[in-house]
Amino acid sequence: MDSLRADHCGYLGDDRGLTPTLDSLADAGVAYETAISPGPRTFSTMPAVFTGHHQTSNSLAVYPGETAWERRLAAIDVHLGRHGSFPERLSDLGYDTAGISPNPWTSSASGFDRGFDHFVDFSGSDDDGLLHGIADRLPVDTERRSVEMLLNMVAGKSFFTQWENFYDRLRQLTERLSEPYFLWVFLLDTHYPFITSRTHRTEQSLLGMYYSAYRSEGAMRGNTDSLAPGVAASMERSYRDTVRASDDFLTHLLDDLSSADPVTVVHSDHGESFGEHGAYGHHRGDVYEENVHVPFVVHNAGVEATISEPTSLASIHDTVLSVARQGTFDPHASTEPQVVASDVRGSSRAARGERYKLVETETGDRLFDLATDPEELRDVSAESEAIKRDLADTLESFDDHVTEVESLGRAAATVAAQRSF
């Protein structure tokens, strides 16, 4: 569920009743209370979820493509090709694999269709040639992206996709799958512009939904750090309705697949800012809690537990494979004393412990005591120097590990290429 914040989930303390089905899964399964996304944006997180390895923060200049958008897609493709993804491994284990994604960052254009026997791409990257051909005629990248977004809004694709748009297709797809099968669905309902159908508009009106989406566009893209209070409140009403809509998707899916008795893994890829730390959306790449603390639940895998220790979503790779091979998993195997969230653009990163968190940005480092300061407003570096050094060591070790893994991956790719001749 793209852009779903932890603090909007009932099992993580929210009392507004937005996620009853997710909460029931958490209650009867494994509920991770301190799940941290590998990064604050989809392209920072999902490649790590699929491979178990973080991407390096290197320059996009080394990747092919005329625009930064195209080069970012190429970088993801290279990462997935270098490390391999769990759908590929599931396919090797004999699973029939199917995926549905409306997100361009997790599309066939970025290589996310690897390992899937069936992959339905609603991002607009593999179809709608006429629509995107119109946008491609524009010379400026930002203008092309704006026109593409307008065309996707009309077509109900990419960031404007609601799960109702593809649910019939999903059901048809599952009817074709042979057991054992793996089904992966990426929901974009909770991603800006927070568009929901009439069925799920509990707090927001149709006019208010589109008006707040229009008025907040600049802020949600990181172009301003403020919104008129009325617009901000309206936008948050829209967001809450999309959370309800996404939870309703779970309700429908679990009911329709009940006879298959599936193991269900639910997680977000990152959160969303609503004015905290002077930011809206996630385009700025901040690694504060509103952007990286996310839900993560595993249900019906033969174990029940509530896990408070930090857990990176990069562990989903091993969790899924363990369940596929053994039917269960050790929920504590994915926990660590400290986990890392990093914007692959290199602008910010954090080492997150159970209580303390070190945030490194281009303007300096700050240490937060989340037990007394959950909103991350007060730097306690001066009175907690030893803790800060420990978290800084975690980031240094993380750098060394990622560099080593990437070097080994490049070497392996070189050897494989040489053997192919």
- With a cut of 70, say whether residue 140 has pLDDT above it: no
Domain limits for position 314:
6-122+161-337
Answer whether residue 94 is part of any domain.
yes
pTM above 0.85, yes or no: yes
**Cα 123 → chain centroid:** 15
Q: Give the integer Cα–Cα distance in Å for 110 and 42.
A: 12
Return the pLDDT at 225. 77
Helix axes 141-155, 68-83, angle to 10 degrees: 70
Question: Looking at residue 334, what DSSP letter applies?
Answer: T
Answer whether residue 140 is part of any domain.
no
Return the pLDDT at 358. 98
CB 266 within 8 A of CB 241: no
Answer whether residue 349 is part of any domain.
no
Q: Which residues have CB under 8 Å from 97's CB, separation 6+?
A: 87, 90, 91, 115, 116, 117, 118, 181, 182, 184
Q: Which residues have CB under 8 Å from 23's CB, separation 6+?
A: 9, 10, 11
Answer whether residue 127 is part of any domain.
no
- With a cut of 90, say whether residue 401 has pLDDT above it: no
Number of domains into which the chain is organized = 1
Band (419; pLDDT cuts 50, 70, 90): low
Q: Which residues have CB under 8 Å from 348's CB, separation 6+?
A: 40, 285, 286, 287, 342, 359, 360, 361, 362
Q: E-assigned strands of 313-419?
A: 338-342, 348-353, 356-361, 364-369
> 218-275, pLDDT tens digit by residue?
888 887 778 899 999 999 999 999 999 999 999 999 999 999 999 999 999 999 999 9
Q: Give the integer Cα–Cα distance in Å for 89 and 142.
A: 37
Single-letter residue type at 195: I
> 316-370, pLDDT tens digit by residue?
999 999 999 999 999 999 999 999 999 988 789 999 999 999 999 988 999 999 9
- Residue 59: CATH number of its domain: 3.40.720.10
End-to-end alpha-carbon separation of the chain, Å? Answer: 43
Answer whether residue 130 is part of any domain.
no
Indicate the average pLDDT of the chain: 89
Helix (H) or strand (E) holding 135: helix 129-136
Answer whether residue 76 is part of any domain.
yes
Band (66; pLDDT cuts 50, 70, 90): confident
Answer whether residue 372 is part of any domain.
no
Between 350 and 149, name the one with better pLDDT: 350
Single-letter residue type at 234: S
Answer whether residue 77 is part of any domain.
yes
> 367-384, pLDDT tens digit by residue?
999 999 999 999 999 999
> 157-175, pLDDT tens digit by residue?
556 789 999 999 999 999 9
Structure-token pair, residue 253? 């899916």
Helix (H) or strand (E) holding 57: none
Beta bridge partners of 341: 350
CB 361 within 8 A of CB 335: no
For the chain, percent of residues with pLDDT exceeding 70: 87
